[in-house]
Chains A and B, each alone.
Chain A
């Protein structure tokens, strides 16, 4: 199995699932998808990718920044593909399927939305600086 893609699946997976380890089947599918869809980063993107694998805590900001600055970037595409794969794993279904929110969860959701907006703004600046 392609080591680089495997590491991407694990690091990106933990990020997308809020720290939960992605199931093995998702990692296998991600590696297959990268080969079939031929998503190849440019040398600049590869450098950023390597940095993100070393410093995963940058992922939320870089992802958010790219969403505004360069939504079609290879890194966004890779995250998108993995997110789609994770959505089809029964083990992770609960984090994708809607559920009845308690009043506290409603509040949490509203805060998350506010933070998401802030993250996008900071991420945008960060991505511009990196570029």
Chain B
């Protein structure tokens, strides 16, 4: 394989790599996907096909899925990243501390070397960016409009025709009916509808979220069965996971998937590009060649590869990550009530704050009910004796809503990445600095207060606010911003790395602005658009 010349090498099997590869493969190009590709080999088989409550009531070995064979599901005090991951999802972070070293006191991102990347555990929230948001992000609305439709058809999106629609699936055709929500969430939505005028006059809009979660069967993927086990199992493939796409691509002769390959750098050789990496099991050096390279190892991963390939130690790259916090709230009406047996742990509602009314600066809150992540995770947070907090949370749980608030994000002087020399296997480490300015902090705080107030008007009261640290939104972008001018460490609109002939970036590195809405649908649409644009270049031989 070493001497074979592929049409394209795609690095990474996450949401962006999978989408780009699908576009290329479907058009007949010869594609090699390089990936580290960690998988869950342990828990998949032991998760019973039962709803959460039945498992809790009946299964003697349930501790394996809820706590893990090595008790890895019990949160370690002080660990910020990945604390929300259940044992069957821990593989998402496997190998990261070793292979993707990162130094920071201010930024705690989550990266993945998994088959399917972070998409193996994403929350499925889908939002189409408005024209104003696309423009600020540096993307072309028309090009993205087609791409959104294609991606939506591929992954399957369920959404409702309600007040959230203009912010979620908006113009998308062929969406499935929205998910059913639980009693508490229905109550919030009906209260909102009654007071709609007042909310809208303050710039708030509420509705069901658009989720990449099937409510109708799609090929071999089954519709959601409301077992409330989405944080553990993908047996029926109701939730879109990028590995579903890659599994399908593997059936094509023009697609080759190589795992355990950690890409380190590339070098351009005339009309081709050579990509070198390390075999993560043997430590051997490996090399592949293609006419074009598509980088999709996640924004931080791309920064490492690009900076290393350019020998640009100490070069600063801008960094975007949505500020994020979550607010546990209480809906007193549901205190001490029973919970719906059949529900979903994914977002129940979306609340948007568009004070200008032009979708240029929208804040977003996702509202979740809490159950399948277990009582112990919340009990740990309460300053009470464990026996008291068990009783208290058993009573409170049906009334708890967790509101996750995302804010818009623009570049700033104190938000950047650098590759630094370090005594790691690669001789370097990524350094991240992320400090919000005073003005940004004020804006974040004031918006959070607006959301808390809006929830209060809906009869849902904030208990506290939890700041899990910068980077915890798991939304990253903006390191190689789109630019009309040929400048080092920027991207052309079509995803080409300026200064290169054959290197393209398919992940979110180009986004110059991050709307508060989940970025992943746009990441996938952009990846498809980059791949489609590449197919039009003459150098592709089929």
- A residues lining the B interface (CB < 8 Å): 15-16, 18, 25, 29, 32-33, 36-37, 60-61, 63-64, 67-68, 71-72, 76-77, 79-81, 83-85, 87-90, 93, 95-101, 105-106, 109, 112-113, 115-117, 119-120, 123
Contact = CB atoms under 8 A, between A and B. Distances in A.
User: Lowest 8 A-B CB distances belong to which pairs?
Assistant: A101-B336, A116-B388, A64-B385, A84-B376, A88-B63, A63-B385, A100-B338, A109-B395
Nearest to B374: A87
Contacts of A106: 335-336
Interface residues of B, number: 41
Interface in B63-113: 63, 66-67, 70-71, 74, 77-78
B388 A64 contact: yes
B339 A98 contact: yes
Contacts of B382: 67
**Most chain B beta-carbon neighbours within 10 Å: one of A60, A71, A97, A106:** A97
Contact of A98 (B66, B74, B78, B338): B338
A22 B117 CA distance: 40
Interface string B27-63: 0000000000000000000000000010011111011
Contacts of A99: 338, 394
A120 B386 CA distance: 11
Given A64-B385, A79-B386, A98 B77 contact: no
A29 B74 CA distance: 13
Given A29-B67, A90-B60, A97-B394, 20 more contacts: A36-B70, A60-B385, A60-B387, A63-B385, A63-B386, A76-B386, A83-B386, A88-B67, A90-B56, A90-B62, A93-B56, A98-B397, A99-B338, A100-B336, A101-B336, A112-B392, A116-B389, A116-B392, A119-B388, A120-B384
Nearest to B394: A98
Contacts of B388: 60, 64, 112-113, 115-116, 119-120
Contacts of B488: none
B385 A119 contact: yes
Contacts of A16: 386-387, 390
A89 B62 CA distance: 8
Interface string B446-481: 000000000000000000000000000000000000
